[in-house]
Amino acid sequence: MSVRRELHTPSRTIMTPGPVEADPRVLRVMGTPVVGQFDPAFTNIMNETMAMLRELFQTENRWAYPIDGTSRAGIEAVLASVIEPGDSVLIPIYGRFGLLLTEIAERYGAKVLTMECEWGKVFDPEDIIQEIQQARPKIVAMVHGETSTGRIHPLREIGEACQAYDALFIVDAVATVGGCEIKVDDWKIDAAIGGTQKCLSVPSGMAPITYNDRVADIIAKRKKVERGIATQADSTRLSGNRPIISNYFDLSQLEDYWSERRLNHHTEATSMLYALREGVRLVLEEGLEERFERHRVHEQALQTGIKGMGLELFGDESCKMPVVTCVQIPEGIDGESVRNMLLTQFGIEIASSFGPLAGKIWRIGTMGYSCRKENVLFVLAGLEAVLLRHGAAIEAGKALQEVLHFYEETETKAVL
């Protein structure tokens, strides 16, 4: 490369299920100068972030901190720290990210038991509970919101069953945290993993996790302090449990780093932590309920527009994820050609899907900072124009009229 030009990115309206537009206030704090990892000013920021994460996850758990990696790093850290070879793990799969849980659990030696349902639906919680009763797994792992199919799963009854049958309940809340209700303590979730680049509107690169004492107890039994920083007291391991394979994802070491002991592990990703702290602060400032309601309003607006132009939604409406709307690609229309024209002509990004849904649906996100009126109006305007350009039988002009009417009504109600 002879010319090394300065970084330049085009303007984009990002309406995918992530990564979405980062909040400009989050981007701004990323320019804050670095401070050292053991500087009291920095460890204070670590503690503040932990406190705010507890509020975000609606938990009293001691442990709530980020893994320095993308969302799947958080998932792997939890699974790798909990699963010992031979452990039984029940994974109800209703989309691609359930498959990812299976993949990771198997790599760490779990005996995985899966249940599968048609993509676009979720399970009857009773079926899962029955499976727990019969199989008595050590762990039940599942996805809260499946962006691949746009479905959200009820968790409360499953959490209660897990507690009753002494299984650990691990939940991938990557796509829901900060956008949809997730009550870690109330729902008896033992460990939850969130994502940054979706409803939190923080760039990808960190994964906030939280877990309770049931999980912490397992981790403690597998604890091993690394040579080079261990003291005499650390050198004897009392239990016969196998140490955690990964060093980077070893939550027992991360606890020593995120608590008073401040034992060096990695060097915390300074600027990403600034960003996460700001992203969560903005969520709490907006208010969890208010934020969830905002996501619901724009989801309704988007659906109104999609239906208004004559398109059909994909999937079972009763378990639709409020922050992702899946749209059937009309017969005879090349979905990728539509996405491409939206990007190159309008600078708007929407998503395709995976596996059995590839080429069949588009996925439109309404997440975090991207979830706002002008974005909803713009994606509908763009989609309508591009579909007309592709010869689709779309009713011109109706979508935006109906959505404007919806917003006017909603705003009137909000004033009353």
Give the footprint of a second copy on residues 38-77 (CB under 8 A). 39, 41-42, 45, 48, 51-52, 55, 68-73, 76
Strands (E), 26-157: 63-67, 88-93, 111-116, 139-143, 145-146, 151-152
Cβ–Cβ contacts within 10 Å for residue 213, how many? Answer: 12
Least distance between a second copy and beta carbon 405 (Å): 31
User: Contact region for a second copy (CB under 8 A) — 232-240, 247-255, 380-388, 403-411?
Assistant: 247-255
Nearer to a second copy, 243 or 310 (CB): 243
Least distance between a second copy and beta carbon 319 (Å): 20
Strand-pairing partners, residue 1, are none
Nearer to a second copy, 162 or 371 (CB): 371
How many residues make contact with a second copy (CB under 8 A)?
87
Least distance between a second copy and beta carbon 307 (Å): 26
Least distance between a second copy and beta carbon 247 (Å): 5
Q: Largest Cα–Cα distance of the chain, in whole Å?
A: 75
**114: part of which helix (H) or strand (E)?**
strand 111-116
User: Contact region for a second copy (CB under 8 A) — 13-21, 134-142, 150-158, 311-319?
Assistant: 13-21
- Map the footprint of a second copy across residues 80-109, applying CB under 8 A: 80, 96-97, 99-100, 102-104, 107-108
Contact 345, 388 (CB under 8 A): no
Contact 97, 147 (CB under 8 A): yes
Least distance between a second copy and beta carbon 77 (Å): 9
Dihedrals phi, psi of 225, to nearest 5 degrees: -90, 135
Tell me, what amino acid is at 257?
Y
Cβ–Cβ contacts within 10 Å for residue 126, how many? Answer: 11
- Map the footprint of a second copy across residues 305-344, applying CB under 8 A: 343
Strands (E), 232-377: 324-328, 348-349, 361-365
Least distance between a second copy and beta carbon 409 (Å): 32
Tell me, what amino acid is at 274?
Y
Q: Does 37 bind a second copy (CB under 8 A)?
A: yes
Supply 303's token pair.
């659906």
Nearer to a second copy, 372 or 398 (CB): 372
Nearer to a second copy, 197 or 304 (CB): 197
Torsion of CA 30, 36, 38, 40, to 10 degrees: -70
CA distance 389 to 225: 62
Q: Does 178 bind a second copy (CB under 8 A)?
A: no
Residue listed under structure tokens 């995976």 = 354
Query: CB under 8 Å to 84, separation ≥6 — which residues?
Result: 109, 222, 241, 242
Least distance between a second copy and beta carbon 225 (Å): 10
- Map the footprint of a second copy across residues 105-164, applying CB under 8 A: 107-108, 148
- Map the footprint of a second copy across residues 200-229, applying CB under 8 A: 203-205, 226-229
Query: CB under 8 Å to 107, separation ≥6 — which residues?
Result: none
Nearer to a second copy, 134 or 340 (CB): 340
CA distance 85 to 93: 21
- Map the footprint of a second copy across residues 272-291, applying CB under 8 A: 272, 274-275, 277-278, 281, 284-285
Contact with a second copy (CB under 8 A) among 271, 316, 330, 410 = 271
Q: Does 197 bind a second copy (CB under 8 A)?
A: yes
If you compute the radius of gyration of the chain from its CA atoms, what whole number of angstroms results?
22
Nearer to a second copy, 48 or 293 (CB): 48
Nearer to a second copy, 142 or 403 (CB): 142
Nearer to a second copy, 32 or 401 (CB): 32
Q: Does 375 bind a second copy (CB under 8 A)?
A: no
Contact with a second copy (CB under 8 A) among 134, 267, 337, 345 = 267
Laid out side by side, the sheet with 191-194 consists of: 63-67, 207-211, 191-194, 168-173, 139-143, 88-93, 111-116
